[in-house]
Amino acid sequence: MKKIHIIALLVIAVAFGVILASLSNNSSYASFKEATDHPRNTYHVVGKLDRAKAFEYDPHVNANLFTFYLVDKDGTERKVLLGKPKPDDFEKSDQIVVIGKATGNDEFVAADVLMKCPSKYTADSIPGQKQSSL
Amino acid sequence: MNEVTYIGEQIGWQYAGNSFVFLSFVAALLASFSFYRSANDNELADGPWKKLGRIAFTIHSFAVIGIMTTMFCMIFKHLYQYHYVWEYSNDAMPRRYTLACFWGGQEGSFLLWTFWNVVIGNVLMRTAKNWEPPVMTTISLVQVFLASMLLGFHVSGLTIGSNPFILLRETPGFLNAPLFNTPDYASKLAKTAQGLNPLLQNYWMTIHPPTLFLGFASTVVPFAYAIAGLWKKKYGEWQLDALPWTFFGIMILGTGILMGGAWAYESLSFGGFWAWDPVENASLIPWLTFVGAGHVMIVYKARKNSAMSTFIFPIITFVLVLYSTFLTRSGILGNTSVHAFTDLGMSGQLLIYLLFFIVLAIALIIINWKKIPRDVAEEELWSREFWMFLGSLVLLMACVQIVVTTSIPVTSKLAGYLHDKLPFMKDAFEKLSKQAPPIDRIGFYNKWQIPFAILVLLILSFGLFFKFKNTDMKQLWKQIMLPFIVSVVLCSISVLLLKETNGFYIALLFMGWFAVCANFYYWMKNKKAVFLKAGASFAHVGFGLIMMGALISTSKKQIISVNTSRKSVRSIDESFSDATNIRMDQGDTLRMGDYYVTYAGKQKVGKNILYAIEYLSKDVDTKKYSLQFTLHPIIQLNPQMGNVAEPSTKHFYDKDIYTHITYADPNSLKEENPGQQYTLARNNTLGIDDKMYSSRDTITLIGLDSHIDLKKYNLKDGDIAVGAILSITDSSHAAYKAEPIYVISGNQVEAIDDTVVKAGLKFSFTKIDPQNHKVDISIAEAKQVARDYIVMEAMIFPYINVLWLGCLIMILGTTLAIRQRIIKSREALKKENAGNETQA
């Protein structure tokens, strides 16, 4: 066997390994219910903000704690505790992804949050919203 | 629909712009067809098709410049009736950002790419000689696709392009706005114009996109040469011509990526220079294979062995550029990246382009598979070509890992689709379709990429010491011994200084040192330290420094803003950290790392609020603070798009101190320094040394002062003035002085108040009772007792300058390499000409 063949085999093996390992990182999207069923796993939960309930952020108590209520795609609502300051323009965000774990008492502890702000980083926006600014 | 005759609309720009767009598309189409015919017919030097192709491409070039000029004028003239202008600019924005507005949107950035391709095409038409027709065919074809991005047609559900010359009232989503029933609506848009995203109002925005897009555009050259080589079945002649372009592209794209990192570090709030964000990754992946392409092409040029990889690498690179474009612009990254573009409805079109070039390239390779020259004899293990090839493969593997992980939103979407359509493997597809990006993204990528980095550094440390064909290994070990020993020593010292314990990090640190030492030694010894021959060595030294700087500044990053408030978040969850953000009231001094930090106050400058964060040091003996430096992180107020925080960094030679406002008191942002309101004054009757109290402070009457400078208070000569000397002490034992004054001017009694802003107190000296030796002093307290506060984050990045130094050296090295490549390809041309002459 030529060296080039050995290398080719190695490369293919490494590539497969890399692909499989990259894909088998244990993170997946889930609902609050699934997250509650598996309290040890960390999940991404996609949801919308419950604007009827107040967010809480009081830097005088703790600068690293922000709480809000999120309704996931199945309609389940959870109180989310985020270990960070309240992000800028949190109110304006349309869709929110929280990354973290469920706790026993129907809370969700998020280490990070991703917001899809309709207008912040992107060129486009929800048409109606911009139109109303005219 | 009721028809309104609009007043003040300047429609002419739309006609001009659309004509240029259409012309650029048609001319590119004609150019690619003409060059195709010219190449296919193997025309001689000045055939009619080639001439036509050149004319068409020149027309295309002018049309593209026409589009850009039109758009630029529209932005410059603030014609807000055009959607693009309304969306990306406004009156408030400084003129220097006009260019930034231009490429702020998708259409403008596609145009920037198109423009660079025009420049490259024009250079190639003058320099590519025999390769001109086939190479220009591909480039013109790419231009056809790019030009169609601006067409803005809608054909049976598929959007072909997004037109930048569309009027606001024609834009979907704005069609029924009541404003458009007013004939002179055009003059009323300035108020609502959106303006460029405040994140992008930055000088980086004027230099980063053009550089990055020139880098992206340059990948088309080796790709077009490779396609031309396959098509014309001239497999081994194009590499020499494409090499200078390849290294030019590597240098420019690399610079563009690093500029992005510097931008993120300096003025975005990522908290670092590289966050493995999908959009960042999208720019990095083609660069990795581009570097691979450059190296396999050098191998082929030197050895004329196997040409296969010189086709594969440039093709992969160009396809990855298209794929990156698809990733960042189709909206598919939506939930995973903070700064991807949203969908303009062009994802279908982008996908078609991507597939077109993939299919074209694969088909050409398959057709030519048997004929592409391959090495008959096996390469020697200890030859430079073998190790360069291996290094390129490692880069490719590193790239595969990044592509696979970044593509998770794509694969999960695809799996979801297959899950619905296919009857088998339901479970596997369902699992894949729920796949989310890694939770600790930065940690995940670092873990994977560090081994690749170690391998690459290992190969590029030895690389230059190998000789083509075969190397005397005894000689090599002898040569490499000195740099090896020096690296061991340097690495040991740095491990001890940094107290590094992680095995992988130590390995990477050693390889970094080794790459720097070995390549520098090679340049000193083998290239006799001739500056112009430093290309490869310097590029490798720079890369080694970049890796070391990245490793140290990231792994030894120290957050010094540790939360000291009563409630700890760690009690809520272990994943939470108290050592990140900290609240500081105005005037507070808190210890952070080796410093004492004070939030001194803020100041509004234009649309920015500058916060003054003072870093003090405390003298051990005298316990006195002295100011070391002041940082000014910014919050940019933008009512339309939301406020944006910009960090501020103090640079030292061996570390950076980075300070960033993560949250600011919303009340203090709204009011612009309101007139201070005070509570009703409370009267106190005091003797000397008596005390009185405010809600927070203790105030002592020290004594009376009859030597008042009358002029200072604009008093007349005959006036009698007495001051009450007060000493104020607050709970944190800060002391202030105040001296309200009691004045008798003729028959009038007057009080001159004294306000102590920092303590929020106002004193008034209202009465003197000489019989009882008492005075009356009234206190009013500032109504806003709660002080202004910020939540901030402060961290130290040690030795980050090693990274920036590495960037500069790598860019310098690559530039020298380009120069060397151009000289060599000219020499080869001369030799060839000389050869032809002697033959004749």
Are B563 and A64 in contact (CB < 8 Å)? yes
Are B641 and A120 in contact (CB < 8 Å)? yes
Task: Say what the pTM is.
Answer: 0.85
The overall average pLDDT reported for chain A is: 79
In the prediction, which pLDDT does B568 show?
65
In the prediction, which pLDDT does B158 show?
67
In the prediction, which pLDDT does B802 show?
95
Residue A130 with chain B: CB contacts under 8 Å: 173-174, 194
Q: Which of residues 392-431 of B touch A (CB under 8 A)?
A: 393, 396-397, 400-401, 404-405, 408, 411-412, 431
pLDDT exceeds cutoff 70 at A127: no
The larger pLDDT score, comparing residue B252 to residue B152, is at B252
The residue range of the domain holding A38 is: 27-122
B486 confidence band (pLDDT: 50, 70, 90): very high
User: What ipTM did this prediction achieve?
Assistant: 0.86
Mean pLDDT of B200-214: 88
Q: What is the largest CA-CA distance in chain B?
A: 127
Q: Which of residues 753-812 of B touch A (CB under 8 A)?
A: 789, 791
pLDDT exceeds cutoff 60 at A123: no
SS in 3 state form for B350-398? HHHHHHHHHHHHHHHHHHHCCCCCCCCCCCCCCCHHHHHHHHHHHHHHH
Count of other CB atoms within 10 angstroms of residue B797: 24
Q: Note whether residue A5 is domain-resident.
A: no
Are B192 and A133 in contact (CB < 8 Å)? yes
How do residues B755-801 score in pLDDT, each as one tens digit? 887 777 888 888 888 888 888 888 887 765 567 888 888 999 999 99
SS3 (DSSP) at B513:
helix
Q: Note whether residue A60 is domain-resident.
A: yes
Alpha carbons A92 and B643: distance in angstroms, whole number? 12
CATH number for the domain spanning A85: value is: 2.40.50.140
- A125 neighbors B174 (Cβ within 8 angstroms): no
- Percent pLDDT > 70 in chain B is 92
In the prediction, which pLDDT does B157 show?
66
Mean pLDDT of B273-289: 92
Mean pLDDT of B628-652: 86
- Percent pLDDT > 90 in chain B is 41
How close B411 gets to chain A, by Cα (Å)? Answer: 10
Alpha carbons B272 and B550: distance in angstroms, whole number? 10
In the prediction, which pLDDT does B54 show?
95
Q: Note whether residue A82 is domain-resident.
A: yes
Q: Which of residues 561-600 of B touch A (CB under 8 A)?
A: 563, 565-569, 572-573, 575-578, 580-583
Count of other CB atoms within 10 angstroms of residue B47: 17
- A98 neighbors A80 (Cβ within 8 angstroms): yes
Are A122 and B342 in contact (CB < 8 Å)? yes
Are B435 and A4 in contact (CB < 8 Å)? no
Q: Are strands B634-636 and B644-646 parallel, antiparallel or unpaired?
A: antiparallel
In the prediction, which pLDDT does B1 show?
44
Alpha carbons A67 and A59: distance in angstroms, whole number? 12
- One-letter amino acid at B237 equals E
Report which secondary-structure segment, H or E, holds B139: helix B132-148
pLDDT exceeds cutoff 90 at B425: no
B831 confidence band (pLDDT: 50, 70, 90): confident
Q: Which two tokens stand for residue A66?
A: 């922000």
Alpha carbons B604 and B572: distance in angstroms, whole number? 37
Are A19 and B404 in contact (CB < 8 Å)? yes
Residue B435 with chain A: CB contacts under 8 Å: 23, 27-29
Alpha carbons B359 and B459: distance in angstroms, whole number? 33
Q: Give, in order, the Cα–Cα distances in Å from B695 to each of B687, B734, B787.
A: 21, 15, 14
* A123 → closest Cβ in B87, B173, B663: B87
A39 confidence band (pLDDT: 50, 70, 90): confident
The larger pLDDT score, comparing residue B714 to residue A76, is at A76
pLDDT exceeds cutoff 90 at B245: yes
Q: Note whether residue A53 is domain-resident.
A: yes
Q: Note whether residue A16 is domain-resident.
A: no
Q: Which residues of B547-579 are buried (b: 16+ CB within 10 A; e: fewer)?
A: bbbbbbbbbbbebbbbbebeeebeebbebbbbe
Q: Note whether residue A109 is domain-resident.
A: yes
CA-angle at B791, arms to B788 and B793, nearest 5°: 145
Q: What is the largest CA-CA distance in chain A?
A: 72
A83 interfaces chain B, CB cutoff of 8 Å: yes
The overall average pLDDT reported for chain B is: 87
How do residues A101-111 score in pLDDT, each as one tens digit? 888 778 899 98
Task: Provide the domain count of chain A.
Answer: 1
Residue of B nearest to A45 (CA): B436
In the prediction, which pLDDT does B73 show?
92
SS3 (DSSP) at B77:
coil
How do residues B155-199 score in pLDDT, each as one tens digit? 766 678 888 898 888 887 777 777 888 888 888 888 888 887 777
How do residues B605-624 score in pLDDT, each as one tens digit? 777 888 999 999 888 888 78
In the prediction, which pLDDT does B452 show?
93
Alpha carbons B706 and B703: distance in angstroms, whole number? 10
* B663 → closest Cβ in A86, A121, A131: A86
B733 confidence band (pLDDT: 50, 70, 90): low
A1 interfaces chain B, CB cutoff of 8 Å: no
Residue B582 with chain A: CB contacts under 8 Å: 63
Q: Which two tokens stand for residue B56?
A: 């068409």
φ/ψ (deg, to 5) at B546: -60, -45
How do residues B441-470 score in pLDDT, each as one tens digit? 888 899 889 999 999 999 999 989 998 888
A124 confidence band (pLDDT: 50, 70, 90): very low
Beta strands in B632-689 (DSSP E): 634-636, 644-646, 648-651, 655-664, 682-686
A58 interfaces chain B, CB cutoff of 8 Å: no
SS3 (DSSP) at A78:
strand
φ/ψ (deg, to 5) at B191: -65, -35
Q: Note whether residue A74 is domain-resident.
A: yes
Q: Note whether residue A68 is domain-resident.
A: yes
In the prediction, which pLDDT does B672 show?
44
- A92 neighbors A118 (Cβ within 8 angstroms): yes
- One-letter amino acid at B91 equals D
* A88 → closest Cβ in B88, B335, B642: B642
Q: Which two tokens stand for residue B172?
A: 């979907």
Q: Give, in order, the Cα–Cα distances in Å from B292 to each of B228, B309, B310, B398.
A: 20, 9, 9, 11
The larger pLDDT score, comparing residue A117 to residue B654, is at B654
Mean pLDDT of B681-703: 83
A60 interfaces chain B, CB cutoff of 8 Å: yes
pLDDT exceeds cutoff 70 at B691: yes
Residue of A nearest to B200 (CA): A121
How close B571 gets to chain A, by Cα (Å)? Answer: 11
Q: Are strands B735-738 and B720-729 parallel, antiparallel or unpaired?
A: antiparallel
> Per DSSP, what are the bridge partners of residue B763?
B754, B779
